[in-house]
Structure 1
Amino acid sequence: MEKKDRNLYRLDELSGYKVASNYSDVTGWKIVDADNRTIGKIDNLWVNKDMQRVVYLDVNVDKGLIEDSKNEVHDAIANDNGNEFVYKDGDSHIIIPIGSVSINKDTKIVMANNIGYNTFRKTSRYNRDHNFDRNYERKTLRSYYPESESRLESESDDDTFYNRREFDNH
């Protein structure tokens, strides 16, 4: 994201911001898929500053999932369609919309509702040292929710884009 257009920030970038007392700070918690397979650990929370709410979980992807993805890369390259699977060193993070998970405060585990391991394995990753843009958000949402394709392209302003069930954290 360009600085002037930027509206998403990692929670640790914002001084004076913290998780509201009625919500759990899930940073450091394990995240699992719908079948209880490990996806990774929550590294941070992405906040829409204007809307003053968390919209994404920033997940540091588990090494096992990355290793499983490498087989996919080799297959994709062999079939000449490997462009989307080309990762640079450090591309080990994904974002997950906050409304796509449930939080178990007792076990300190976050569960991705209705998103399977293979979907996470194929979801485009990014490097934490570089911020992502709206195109990455759209690409990621399409991987989780293919049925939302038509709505994603037409929604450009934040209020419209984030006004969907995937971002509802209540």
Structure 2
Amino acid sequence: MAGEAKLHIWDAYWDLRVDECPCDVQFCDWLEKEKITNAAIFHFGTGGHHIVGIRTAENGSNNAVMGITASPQEYETFVQLAIERPDVEKTYKTFFGDIYQLDARLLPQFEVVTLFHLCEFRTEKNDAYGALTDRQVLDMFTQKTKSGGYLLFYSGSFAYDAALRIVAEWEKESPVEKVGMYETLLVYRKK
């Protein structure tokens, strides 16, 4: 029944674990290798470490990062980061919410989008309130990626096989081309 379902949250805290989940550090390395600067970036799954926002604020790239987390604990660490490091918060914003509840009308165009956690979080709990599917999220962010922009996926995700099935179909139907792998990151470019 409408109004009775609660938001599906990620009830965990993910700190920086480069040995277990190197995607955020590798993403920062990739941005620097590709010399991507002054870009608008959407980052799915900030982690409590917020390394993408911190590193892009500190490295002089002038990239602006919008992150989303469904973990109340990770969001709380962002609030503390914002209070303690306004220099980082200037170009890094994180909001709390379910990515499957995003409304495309509220999103700007991005040069880079990370969907590292595609297929990890979507369950019947999201169905209870009519949330988007993983494919709908992927299509929405494809539309919100500028021509020549990038969409990246994480091959080390526990749901990578499921994500790869969606990505293979999406690749055939969307104006994108596979760039290749950068360490554990699968990189696509929008035509």
Give the TM-score taking structure 1 as reference length.
0.27
Give the TM-score taking structure 2 as reference length.
0.25
